[in-house]
Amino acid sequence: MSALTQSPAWRALQAYQTVMAQQHLRELFNRDPQRFNKFSLSFSDMLIDYSKQPINDETVELLLTLARQQQLEGWIARMFSGDKINSTEHRAALHIALRGQHPIVVDGVDVMPEVKRVLKQMERFTIAVQSGARRGYSGKMFTDIVNIGIGGSDLGPAMVTEALKPYWLNGITPHFISNVDGAQLTQVLQRLNPETTLFVIASKTFTTQETLANAHSARQWFLSHGGSEKNIAQHFVAVSTNQPAVEQFGIDAENMFVFWDWVGGRYSLWSAIGLPIALTIGMDNFYALLAGAREMDQHFASAPLEKNMPVMLGLIGIWQINFFGSSSHAILPYDQCLHRFPAYLQQLDMESNGKRITRDGEMVDYATGAVVWGEPGTNGQHAFFQLLHQGTQTISADFLAPCQSHYLIGDHHRMLLANFLAQTEALMTGKTETEVRAELEAQGMDTQVATQLVLHKVFPGNRPTTSILFKKLTPQTLGSLIALYEHKVFVQSVIWNINPFDQWGVELGKQLAGKILVELAEKASTSAHDASTCGLIDFIRNNQ
């Protein structure tokens, strides 16, 4: 047994779960009128309500004891001070420096002057593109930005630009190419004019197969649709930590925006990886995004644990995953602009905390990261909410919504919010057999028919949700919201004693793909794999 699961704090929580599991959330609300006040936190224009989670004062105390036992405050301080907490890669994890204002020293050097220099470089570049000082080869202004990247070099910028659509500048449309499936590149490029298209090749390592394949094909398309070699420099820029590889691709160092090994891919949207964001919404709005994240950083670094939003969100997740056995967590934004937020959080959370070896090199004997998934409300209500309400699994969910919409059309926003509130209430209260029977009788239904139907119409309720409300989805608020989840993931990693900043689990598939790529091009059938893989390779070959 691990030290964690043997620890007094862990055992106390295990014992207390059996107490809480016997109490319906409805009873908890009936018993304590202060429940909402006690179990909600507000910060800036954001509110988190976790009172619809199976907790009480005692649970919160026990969770905080666990956090202290795992030295959470010390780990937060270590992250902010630039310690090399990404231990398997011997790196700091300093996404907070990308939106920071104070010196942070790594290997004896303050990183902030470089951070500021690159931000200024981005600012100059975006102003040049937006003002027309920098144009395409035929003298026309750029109208389309194509970001070519994958994972953290795609999901963050893609999610943020979608979320901030109301802030898009006139005349510039962003596009995102990530998949090596040529369908995506082809479908985007066929709508574009090379004279007015700017490509941003985004890759931390500049070795990612998909990105390089897409970048080469984009260059080929540019050259075969009117552009020439000498125009490449005007139309292709790169964002990377790997200057030699960028130059080898044919992009001049002066058209390159750097970032650093202490920025994890999935934490990189605040760096030059955010260039397509800045090009789309303007640098002032990009700075507002950074400011929002910085506010959340300051809160995370200084608020007491019990009043600390990322800490409480993280601990509620621990309570669900480790003590109630939840293996999946739904992210349900009631905001169409946040439609890519679940996909973004999937990488952030699952690539960070999908680990089974502790920082001490031991196998865990407890669950770690949950499966993160979701869709915007109200669409999900007409698709998978049936399982949330009446299925056999209890799924914990985060509901997110802005109080104000950017889109003032009819009564839509009120309807959206009514649905948000109705769903979280319904999931919590449910509907008892007695209530269902009374309802059916009131409708005049025959008693025998009613008896057959009654159980189908019962809602057990007691389904845990956390509500996150904010005034309006502005760049600043979005920055805070993303940082909230970044830090929540970190909090959970500290409790689980795992390193959230590496991702060795993506390597094996990459290695095998390289080998199979060669085999797929060969004529003779292969016996170099298991029978299934060989059979699949043969089937593909025979059908091409």
Answer yes or no whether residue 352 interacts with ligand F6P by CB under 6 A.
Answer: no
Q: Which two tokens stand for residue 30?
A: 């009936």
Q: Which two tokens stand for residue 516?
A: 């199979």
Side chain identity at residue 4, one-letter code: L
Closest approach of Cβ 175 to ligand F6P, in Å? 18
Q: Is 175 a catalytic residue?
A: no
Answer yes or no whether residue 152 interacts with ligand F6P by CB under 6 A.
Answer: yes
Residue pointed to by tokens 């995506």: 184
Strand, coil or helix: 308? coil
Binder among 9, 72, 148, 150 for ligand F6P (CB under 6 A): 150
Could you tell me how many residues of this chain bind ligand F6P (CB under 6 A)?
A: 15
Select which of 38, 307, 412, 510 is catalytic. 510
Task: Say how many Å lie between the first and final Cα of the chain, rounded.
Answer: 52
CA dist., res. 499 & res. 503, Å (int): 9
State which of positions 1-60 bind ligand F6P (CB under 6 A): none
Q: Which two tokens stand for residue 536?
A: 């699949």
Select which of 382, 456, 507, 523 is catalytic. 382
Closest approach of Cβ 96 to ligand F6P, in Å? 18
Residues 202, 147: contact at Cβ < 8 Å? Answer: yes
CA dist., res. 426 & res. 72, Å (int): 35
Answer yes or no whether residue 266 interacts with ligand F6P by CB under 6 A.
Answer: yes
State which of positions 414-473 bind ligand F6P (CB under 6 A): none
DSSP β-ladder status, 40-43 and 236-240: unpaired
Binder among 151, 374, 377, 402 for ligand F6P (CB under 6 A): 151
Binder among 126, 208, 271, 462 for ligand F6P (CB under 6 A): 208
Closest approach of Cβ 367 to ligand F6P, in Å? 22
CA dist., res. 42 & res. 306, Å (int): 12
Residues with Cβ within 8 Å of 512's Cβ and at least 6 positions away in sequence, in order, are: none
Q: Is the peptide bond before 477 cis (omega within 30 degrees of 0)?
A: no
Only one of the segments 93-101, 133-141, 147-155, 213-221 lies at the binding site for ligand F6P (rule: CB under 6 A); that segment is: 147-155
Closest approach of Cβ 482 to ligand F6P, in Å? 15
DSSP single-letter state for residue 384: T
Closest approach of Cβ 188 to ligand F6P, in Å? 18
Closest approach of Cβ 207 to ligand F6P, in Å? 7
Only one of the segments 150-158, 293-301, 309-317, 318-326 lies at the binding site for ligand F6P (rule: CB under 6 A); that segment is: 150-158
Sign of CA dihedral 429, 432, 438, 442: positive
Binder among 211, 353, 480, 497 for ligand F6P (CB under 6 A): 211
Nearer to ligand F6P, 506 or 512 (CB): 506
Answer yes or no whether residue 271 interacts with ligand F6P by CB under 6 A.
Answer: no
CA dist., res. 146 & res. 174, Å (int): 6
Query: Residue 524: exposed, middle, or buried by beta-carbon count in 10 A (0-12, 13-18, 19+)?
Result: exposed
Of 331, 330, 313, nearest to 394 (Cα)?
A: 330
Only one of the segments 26-34, 134-142, 199-207, 486-494 lies at the binding site for ligand F6P (rule: CB under 6 A); that segment is: 199-207
Element (H, E) at 313: helix 309-318
Residue pointed to by tokens 């005034």: 471
* Strand ranges for 260-414 from DSSP E: 328-333, 371-373, 396-402
Q: Is 382 a catalytic residue?
A: yes
Answer yes or no whether residue 355 interacts with ligand F6P by CB under 6 A.
Answer: no
Give me the helices (H) in 225-333, please. Answer: 232-235, 243-249, 275-281, 283-302, 309-318
Nearer to ligand F6P, 351 or 375 (CB): 351
DSSP single-letter state for residue 91: B
Select which of 162, 210, 295, 351 is catalytic. 351
Nearer to ligand F6P, 52 or 204 (CB): 204
CA dist., res. 479 & res. 291, Å (int): 7
Residues 161, 338: contact at Cβ < 8 Å? Answer: no
Answer yes or no whether residue 91 interacts with ligand F6P by CB under 6 A.
Answer: no
Nearer to ligand F6P, 134 or 356 (CB): 356
Residues 227, 235: contact at Cβ < 8 Å? Answer: yes
Q: Is 510 a catalytic residue?
A: yes
Nearer to ligand F6P, 119 or 239 (CB): 239
- The gap from C-alpha 141 to its chain's centroid, in whole angstroms, comes to 33
Answer yes or no whether residue 265 interacts with ligand F6P by CB under 6 A.
Answer: yes
State which of positions 476-535 bind ligand F6P (CB under 6 A): 503, 506
Closest approach of Cβ 251 to ligand F6P, in Å? 15
Binder among 175, 204, 219, 235 for ligand F6P (CB under 6 A): 204
Closest approach of Cβ 372 to ligand F6P, in Å? 15
> What positions carry a catalytic annotation?
351, 382, 510
Which residues contact ligand F6P by CB under 6 A?
149-153, 203-205, 208, 211, 265-266, 351, 503, 506
